[in-house]
């Protein structure tokens, strides 16, 4: 049994081993002054003042930095320029609750590292750190043509206007519009069939058609899943080394 399997899978194992070694080598090579710091990256690029403010306000910048340090599958960030934020209707950001601000920011983050060509291979809707892609939630579609990458949300669309940063773990792309998720800017889900209005709140506390917006936990579980994969890969690489 093993004899049949090994000659076939050995090249694959070697490839994985090689990849792991390469990743290690990259991790060890001196990164530009300390661990990845999304704030610093955007500050250096310039023109992202509002997005930086939102990342800090929602403490997403800390979470991004932490997640990248945990050697996960990486992250891709769509960074709207200051011009993109200026194009929003006046008061748009101020009208959002704290939770909605968190969701809005997480909607601009994909849970894996993607190069521009890799966008051609993603399947729609693409999952963001904001969570569920279902109707009334956080769907995001990507269309590509050559090196052009367009994004639609069901509310508006944006184009990737350039690469701000890419290091094989984190990709930051400038987008020309703020990505507006359906969950925040779209129509409410249909309300339950209207009945006679109760004069007092129902005593049984019947559930309201609450819109689920629980992105924080989804991002956390994602980190866990990635960890499991990394651990599994580590095991394979170890086996390959042992076999040799
Ligand atoms: C990241 O960079 C910003 C701005 O350069 C700085 O204020 C912040 O302390 C840095 N964070 C970490 C964790 O080094
Ligand atoms: C992307 O959007 C631009 C501007 O709206 C449009 O001209 C172009 O055809 C779109 N490309 C794709 C691949 O959707
Ligand atoms: C996104 O893509 C899915 C699958 O192709 C499609 O069903 C959905 O209508 C698209 N949504 C938008 C906003 O383009």
Our mutation pick for probing the ligand 1 site, out of 39, 41, 45, counting the most ligand atoms within 8 A of Cβ, is: 39
Work out the number of other CB atoms within 10 angstroms of the CB of residue 41: 20
Paired tokens of 103 = 């969701």
Ligand with smallest separation from the Cα of 41 = 1
pLDDT tens for the chain, 244 residues: list them. Answer: 444 444 445 444 334 434 534 444 444 444 455 789 999 999 999 999 999 999 999 999 999 999 999 877 899 999 999 999 999 999 999 999 999 999 999 999 999 999 999 999 999 999 999 999 998 999 999 999 988 999 999 999 999 999 999 999 999 999 999 999 999 999 888 877 766 655 554 445 444 444 444 343 333 334 334 344 334 433 333 333 333 3
Q: What is the pTM of this model?
A: 0.71
Q: What is the pLDDT of residue 9?
A: 55
**Residue-level pLDDT at 33:** 55
35 C-alpha to center of ligand 1: Å? 10
Pick the ligand that lies closest to the CA of residue 141: 3
The closest residue, in CA terms, to atom 12 on ligand 1 is 37
User: Which pLDDT belongs to residue 199?
Assistant: 55
pLDDT of residue 67: 92
């Amino acid at each position: 049994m093993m004899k049949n399997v090994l000659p076939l899978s050995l090249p694959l194992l070697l490839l994985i081993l090689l990849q792991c070694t390469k990743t290690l080598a990259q991790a060890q090579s001196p990164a530009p002054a300390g661990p990845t710091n999304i704030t610093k990256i955007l500050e250096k690029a310039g023109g992202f003042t509002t997005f930086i403010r939102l990342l800090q306000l929602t403490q997403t910048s800390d979470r991004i930095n932490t997640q990248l340090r945990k050697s996960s599958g990486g992250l891709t960030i769509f960074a709207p320029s200051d011009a993109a934020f200026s194009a929003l209707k006046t008061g748009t950001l101020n009208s959002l609750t704290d939770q909605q601000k968190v969701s809005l920011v997480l909607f601009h983050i994909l849970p894996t590292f993607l190069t521009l060509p890799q966008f051609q291979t993603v399947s729609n809707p693409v999952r963001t750190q904001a969570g569920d892609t279902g109707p009334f939630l956080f769907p995001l579609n990507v269309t590509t043509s050559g090196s052009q990458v367009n994004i639609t949300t069901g509310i508006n669309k944006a184009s990737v206007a350039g690469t701000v940063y890419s290091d094989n773990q984190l990709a930051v792309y400038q987008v020309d519009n703020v990505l507006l998720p359906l969950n925040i800017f779209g129509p409410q889900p249909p309300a339950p069939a209207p009945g006679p209005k109760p004069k007092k709140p129902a005593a049984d506390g019947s559930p309201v058609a609450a819109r689920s917006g629980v992105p924080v936990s989804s991002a956390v579980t994602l980190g866990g899943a990635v960890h499991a994969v990394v651990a599994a890969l580590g095991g394979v690489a170890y086996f390959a080394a042992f076999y040799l």
